[in-house]
């Protein structure tokens, strides 16, 4: 297999495409969170900090405001990712696992689907032991 063929096979796999989509969406989401932090959160922080723009706040040569903005960005992005993806997707997965019990079963003789409480198969008329629902 040539290098080009290997590369095409690598790109054609679903994992690479999904990862590329995730990176693009993550970048766009990061911009939203940064705008939220710069527009809403950091103005609130500026009430605690001395007068002036919080991003230009320095202690000597240390740019404390820029670091504080980056830290708040990271914490908010991590919080939202945790809540949406970890907790949210776990809740969706739990709902999928809690699927309702089937209302039918297979007849042991003809394998036709019959209701759980049926005493005879509708297809082959063999006698069945009714199962309790629930």
Report the candidate in 133, 106, 112 with the shortest Cα–Cα distance to residue 124.
112
| Mean pLDDT of the 66-77 span | 79
Give the residue carrying structure tokens 């710069």: 38
Contact 29, 77 (CB under 8 A): yes
**Predicted pLDDT at 47:** 76
Report field, pTM of the whole predicted structure over 0.75:
no
Domain positions in the chain are 3-97, 101-134
In CATH terms, the superfamily for domain 3-97 is Large-conductance mechanosensitive channel, MscL; domain 1 (1.10.1200.120)
Over residues 10-36, the pLDDT tens digits come to 777 767 777 887 888 888 887 887 787
**Predicted pLDDT at 44:** 77
- Could you tell me which residue, 91 or 1, shows the higher pLDDT? 91
- From CA 23, how far away is CA 20, in angstroms rounded? 5
Cα end-to-end span (Å), the chain: 56
- From CA 37, how far away is CA 33, in angstroms rounded? 6
């Amino acid at each position: 297999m040539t290098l080009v063929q290997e590369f095409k096979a690598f790109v054609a796999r679903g994992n690479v495409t999904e990862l590329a989509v995730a990176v693009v969406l993550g970048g766009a989401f990061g911009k939203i969170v940064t705008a939220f932090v710069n527009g809403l959160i950091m103005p609130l922080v500026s009430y605690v900090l001395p007068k002036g723009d919080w991003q230009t706040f320095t202690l000597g040569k240390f740019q404390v405001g820029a670091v504080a903005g980056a830290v708040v960005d990271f914490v908010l992005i991590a919080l939202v990712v945790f809540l949406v993806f970890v907790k949210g997707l776990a809740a969706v997965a739990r709902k999928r696992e809690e699927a309702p019990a089937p209302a039918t079963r297979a007849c042991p003789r003809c394998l036709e689907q019959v209701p759980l409480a049926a005493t005879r198969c509708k297809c082959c008329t063999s006698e069945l032991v009714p199962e309790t629902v629930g």
